[in-house]
């Protein structure tokens, strides 16, 4: 698909803002429990408009090596100086990744900065992110990710509530000791027709193929990231031992990594998260290479506020997002969101924003009330 380019913008100032938001309920995965998020937001001021980007790194380096404090440091000291030093601050979102390329990794930080530039540039030209990305849907089905709980009874109640809310697909977090039993109980309680998948967040080993194959009887949509991120060959071994399709998340750090994993038979489905691959533009490339190879994708989530959630929706509306993603309603995680139009669930779907840029406006008063620090970096 040809996506038209738009004129660059001249950046006047970039603000790094940290906010603290408590989660409505603790969220436990195989790598840890989150009760509140310390979130880095990037605000770009350019030609009289502002653009926002959200960094999805967690408080600690548990999901990947990135974490919020390091993201702020690398953004302030390595990414922003390069961006502003290039062409006197005249920036095109399409070229941000290239300008930042000499800095190794730090994809979540790069993605947040690129998102802020893109948001400002699109607002400047009155274009929505969905249109810029090539979205083909105005709403997408909404799935929900359900954390590991203290008891199976608790899990059953939580899943029951989400199904009552209308979520059309359930993802259960699993780890050794919390896999066969919870999955069996959810199937027994809610039946075989509930679209169900599991996510291990790297918690298993290459020896666990026969154990994971015992999940096959539960007709799961997929099993996500059973092994550590760098074990692509191990995933190919597991994929041969289980009938349930293997999906990769942590391992897919770029479009090139997606091609490699697919060609090596390590996955037949890909979870796309913009932050994990260095930004929305690389995420679109991941989408495209998967589409070319007949590999379906779905949009993951990283406990984003309304800013990241709105952008995820624009991405999830692309044609090869044929599996239901993790873009759930804001209220699934936040008592109050920081934007004027939080994501809402309607008939099991969430709407793709249509206004310019991300399509959401930041609620400044509430944002200020949850802000813990602000740093300005000028041109
Ligand atoms: O809906 O935002 C959401 C959460 C979906 O389970 C979810 N995210 O491993 O995919 C994951 C997990 C995650 C959350 C990963 C936070 C990293 C940080």
Site to probe by mutation for ligand 1, drawn from 326, 327, 328, 334 as the one with most ligand atoms within 8 Å of Cβ, is 326
Beta strands 32-46 and 269-272, pairing class = unpaired
Angle at 227 between CA 226 and CA 228, to 5 degrees: 135
Share of the chain above pLDDT 70, in %: 99
Mean pLDDT (whole number) for 325-340: 97
Residue of minimum CA distance from atom 5 in ligand 1? 301
Say whether pLDDT at 2 is over 50.
no
Share of the chain above pLDDT 90, in %: 96
Reported as a single tens digit per residue, the pLDDT across 271-315 is 999 999 999 999 999 999 999 999 999 999 999 999 999 999 999
Q: What does pLDDT average to over the chain? A: 96
The pLDDT value given to residue 378: 72
* CB 116, CB 46: distance < 8 Å: no
Give me ligand 1 centre to Cα 248, in Å. 13
Query: Computed over its alpha carbons, how large is the radius of gyration of the chain?
Result: 20
Give me ligand 1 centre to Cα 300, in Å. 7
Mean pLDDT (whole number) for 212-232: 98
Confidence band (pLDDT; 50, 70, 90) for 89? confident
Reported as a single tens digit per residue, the pLDDT across 170-205 is 999 999 999 999 999 999 999 999 999 999 999 999
- Give the position, in ligand 1's atom list, of the atom nearest the Cα of 332: 1
Reported as a single tens digit per residue, the pLDDT across 132-175 is 999 999 999 999 999 999 999 999 999 999 999 999 999 999 99
Residue of minimum CA distance from atom 6 in ligand 1? 145
Give me ligand 1 centre to Cα 365, in Å. 27
- Give the position, in ligand 1's atom list, of the atom nearest the Cα of 326: 1
For residues 350 and 334, give the distance between their C-alpha atoms in angstroms, rounded to a whole number. 16
For residues 97 and 110, give the distance between their C-alpha atoms in angstroms, rounded to a whole number. 7
Domains of the chain as residue ranges with CATH? 9-126+362-378 (3.30.390.10), 131-351 (3.20.20.120)
Site to probe by mutation for ligand 1, drawn from 222, 252, 301, 304 as the one with most ligand atoms within 8 Å of Cβ, is 301
The pLDDT value given to residue 1: 45
Mean pLDDT (whole number) for 311-334: 97
Say whether pLDDT at 212 is over 60.
yes
Site to probe by mutation for ligand 1, drawn from 28, 303, 313 as the one with most ligand atoms within 8 Å of Cβ, is 303
Say whether pLDDT at 31 is over 70.
yes
The pLDDT value given to residue 5: 76
Say whether pLDDT at 3 is over 90.
no
- Give the position, in ligand 1's atom list, of the atom nearest the Cα of 147: 6
Residue of minimum CA distance from atom 3 in ligand 1? 301
Confidence band (pLDDT; 50, 70, 90) for 377? confident
Residue in this structure with the two tokens 């697909």, named with its chain if needed: 169
Give me ligand 1 centre to Cα 302, in Å. 4
Reference 304, options 323, 327, 283; nearest CA is: 327
Mean pLDDT (whole number) for 41-67: 97
Confidence band (pLDDT; 50, 70, 90) for 128? very high
The pLDDT value given to residue 189: 98
* CB 184, CB 152: distance < 8 Å: no
* CB 274, CB 310: distance < 8 Å: no
Ligand 1 lining (C-beta closer than 6 Å): 29, 58, 63, 145, 199, 201, 249, 300-304, 326, 328
DSSP secondary structure string for all residues of 53-122: EEE---SSTTSSS--HHHHHHHIIIIIHHHHHHGGGGEE-HHHHHHHHTTS-S-HHHHHHHHHHHHHHHH
The pLDDT value given to residue 167: 98
Say whether pLDDT at 4 is over 90.
no
The pLDDT value given to residue 379: 66
Overall pTM > 0.85: yes
Give me ligand 1 centre to Cα 103, in Å. 26
- Among the residue ranges 83-92, 150-159, 262-271, 354-363, the one predicted with the least confidence is 83-92
């Amino acid at each position: 698909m040809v996506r038209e380019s738009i004129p660059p913008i001249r950046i006047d100032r970039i603000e790094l803002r940290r906010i603290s938001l408590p989660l409505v309920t603790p969220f436990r995965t195989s790598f840890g429990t989150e009760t509140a998020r310390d979130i880095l937001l990037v605000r770009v001021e350019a030609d009289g408009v502002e653009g926002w980007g959200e960094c999805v790194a967690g408080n600690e380096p548990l999901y990947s090596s990135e974490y919020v404090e390091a993201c702020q440091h690398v953004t302030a000291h390595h990414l922003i100086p390069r961006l502003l030093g290039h062409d006197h601050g005249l920036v095109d979102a399409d070229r941000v990744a290239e300008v930042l390329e000499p800095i190794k990794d730090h994809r979540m930080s790069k993605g947040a900065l690129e998102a802020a530039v893109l948001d400002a540039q699109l607002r400047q030209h009155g274009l929505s992110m969905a249109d810029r990305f090539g979205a083909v849907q105005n709403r997408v089905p909404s799935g929900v990710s359900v954390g590991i709980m203290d008891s199976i009874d608790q899990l059953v109640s939580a899943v029951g509530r989400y199904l009552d809310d209308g979520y059309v697909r359930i993802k259960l977090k699993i780890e050794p000791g919390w896999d066969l039993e919870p999955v069996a109980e959810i199937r027994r309680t809610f039946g075989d027709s509930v679209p169900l998948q599991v996510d291990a967040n790297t918690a298993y080993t290459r020896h666990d193929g026969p154990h994971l194959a015992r999940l096959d009887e539960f007709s799961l949509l997929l099993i996500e990231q059973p092994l550590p991120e760098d074990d692509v060959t191990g995933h190919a071994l597991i994929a041969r031992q289980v009938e349930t399709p293997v999906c990769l998340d942590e391992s897919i750090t770029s479009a090139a990594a997606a091609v490699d994993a697919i060609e090596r038979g390590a996955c037949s489905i890909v979870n796309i998260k913009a932050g994990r691959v260095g930004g929305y533009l690389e995420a679109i490339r991941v989408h495209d290479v998967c589409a070319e190879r007949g590999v379906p994708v779905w949009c993951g989530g990283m406990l984003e506020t309304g800013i990241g959630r709105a952008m995820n929706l624009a991405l999830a509306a692309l044609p090869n997002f044929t599996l239901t993603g993790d873009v759930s309603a804001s209220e699934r995680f936040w008592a109050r969101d920081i934007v004027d139009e939080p994501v809402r669930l309607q008939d099991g779907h969430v709407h793709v924003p249509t206004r310019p840029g991300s399509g959401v406006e930041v609620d400044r008063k509430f944002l200020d009330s949850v802000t813990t620090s602000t740093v300005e970096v000028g041109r």
